[in-house]
Amino acid sequence: MTNTNSISLNVISGNGMISVSRPTAQMKTVTGVPTGQPKGKKATLLLTSVFGPYAQDDEFRSRKINPMELYHNQVTREQGPFSLRMFHRSWGQMLIQANLTSPCVQLDFPVRERFIEELKTRKYDVIGIGSIVMNVGKVKEMCRLIRKYQPEAVIVIGGHISNLGGLENRVDCDFIVKGDGVRWFREYLDQDPDQPLRHPVINSGFGTRAVGIDSPGDVAATIIPSVGCPMGCNFCATSAMFGGKGKFVNFYETGD
């Protein structure tokens, strides 16, 4: 089973969408923060995951063997019919959206046609795409579509895909961001990067099932206390985005 139709569209603040002239300097960065967005806090944002359908062998290098599920694709994939099945929202983008004062829309798990519809319907100053490495083909296509329908928009790429060497030569984007996305966007949009973090309400997962039986009542909440990872396992690339092995950023020092 694949997640092809789940869409979340959330508007945080502001009613009008404002167009902006594209900056003359096209800069790509993997460290630090670039020169601020010309419209600052008034800039309009779209944050989106890569488009579906998922777990299909297609022209964008999506593969049937890689379902869009944390557990069945990684954690419990070898448990066969006993593997835990569920889908998760894009938590990082939800956290970024909840901590910006700028008008921000999140489009989560759209199909390609829905993404194009959004580009045709609303004008954005900044469009952020979050992805893992294996979906680089879809990110490339999304950048192409943005340049076609909204050529003045600034394209920001983040997530695990930012670890991919030579990414700046493979996709047509303006910024490649590693590290704390909340702080990066706050600084880019001329907002206080050190203001307290607001945690969005996050259901841990949806579409939960095991051995073919749906479990709609088994719902848990998710709390994100930090980004990065203090463990620094050799097989994981997470810490690399935050300064190296064992590096992480604490959002909450205590549970109070």
- pLDDT tens for 189-236 read 999 998 988 998 888 877 788 888 887 776 778 888 888 888 878 777
Q: Tell me how far apart the alpha carbons of residues 154 and 19 are, in angstroms, rounded to a whole number.
A: 11
Counting every residue written for the chain, the total comes to 256
pLDDT in tens, 118-129: 999 999 999 999
Side chain identity, residue 140: K
Q: 64 and 56 in contact (C-beta within 8 Å)?
A: yes
Token pair 């599920």 is found at: 69
Peptide bond into 53 cis (omega under 30): yes
pLDDT in tens, 55-80: 788 888 777 777 778 777 878 888 88
Nearest Cα to Cα of residue 104 among 225, 7, 189: 189
Q: 140 and 52 in contact (C-beta within 8 Å)?
A: no
Q: Tell me how far apart the alpha carbons of residues 195 and 83 are, in angstroms, rounded to a whole number.
A: 41
How many C-beta atoms lie closer than 10 Å to residue 222's C-beta? 15
Name the token pair of 118: 């959004």
Domain range annotation of the chain: 8-209
* pLDDT(143) > 80: yes
